[in-house]
């Protein structure tokens, strides 16, 4: 089962690659140090397709005759949330921070209620009528990664591209998710509002910046040659 690591300033980057993103921060100070160079388009992905992939990569199951789907989402501080909802017209999904599941939560729907709790790395879901199943945050990350479009920079770093709806504010954004050389998942969240007018840079490889820009109906990935003059902060990682 794949372990998950949240890196605030992403670690374990490939040789000659530098990653410097962090929650709720842009790249303004860094950009000020760059010499002028054109921003070039690498590729673009339709937002409609990415949203369809987001829904399709959920864990789907049936309990007590009702179909449900479960997935992970991310808030503005990159905290992981567990979302679960009935797949029925008008049904509203429930959202809980991952650490809230330790004490147990309840999701109510038209036909009853599901009990949800985390135990020994698993998420246990029961309908109270003898039906139950297990999933995990690791499984939901695996499904998300496997079911999402990919973008690869400089033939070195590959990201799965995932649309995200903040479970607190409902602000839309994009998660870029990769597997490090250590086998852990690394990700960052970019709100649409942050990149509606200019790119947000995700990483630098061999003197080239790579980032993304929100330009409906597409998400555009871009590059820009740089002269590395700025100093970067020390990397910091957090393991949940």
Q: What are phi and psi of 92, to 5 degrees?
A: -110, 135
Tokens of 167: 């479970």
DSSP helix/strand/coil, 131: coil
Whole-number Å distance between alpha carbons of 153 and 209: 10
> Could you report the per-residue pLDDT of 14-42, keeping only the tens digit for each?
334 445 444 444 555 555 555 578 999 99
H-run or E-run covering 172: strand 172-179
pTM over 0.85: no
Residue spans of the chain under pLDDT 50:
1-18, 20-25, 230-238, 240
Check residue 36 and report its DSSP letter: P
Whole-number Å distance between alpha carbons of 1 and 82: 18
> Could you report the per-residue pLDDT of 216-238, keeping only the tens digit for each?
999 999 999 987 654 444 433 44
Q: How many CB atoms lie within 10 A of CB 178?
A: 23
**Mean pLDDT over each residue of the chain, to the nearest integer:** 85
């Amino acid at each position: 089962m794949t372990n998950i690591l949240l890196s605030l300033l992403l670690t374990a980057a490939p040789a000659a690659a530098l990653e410097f993103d962090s929650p709720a921060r842009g790249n303004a100070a860094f950009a000020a140090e760059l010499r002028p160079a054109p921003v070039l388009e690498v590729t673009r992905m339709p937002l409609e397709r990415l949203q369809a992939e987001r829904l399709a990569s959920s864990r789907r199951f049936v309990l007590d005759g009702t179909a449900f789907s479960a997935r992970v989402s991310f808030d503005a501080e990159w905290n992981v949330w567990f979302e679960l909802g009935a797949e029925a017209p008008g049904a509203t999904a429930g959202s809980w921070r991952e650490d809230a599941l330790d004490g147990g939560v309840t999701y109510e729907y038209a036909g009853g209620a599901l009990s949800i709790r985390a135990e020994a790395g698993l998420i246990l879901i029961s309908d109270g009528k003898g039906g139950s199943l297990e999933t995990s945050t690791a499984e939901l990350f695996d499904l998300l990664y496997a079911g999402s479009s990919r973008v690869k920079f400089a033939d070195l770093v590959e990201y799965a591209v995932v649309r995200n709806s903040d479970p607190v504010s409902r602000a839309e954004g994009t998660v870029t998710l990769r597997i490090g050389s250590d086998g852990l998942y690394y990700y960052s969240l970019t709100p649409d509002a942050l990149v509606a007018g200019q790119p947000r840079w995700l990483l630098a490889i061999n003197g080239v910046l790579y980032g993304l820009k929100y330009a409906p109906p597409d998400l555009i990935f871009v590059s820009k040659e740089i002269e590395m003059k700025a100093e970067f902060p020390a990397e910091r990682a957090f393991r949940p």
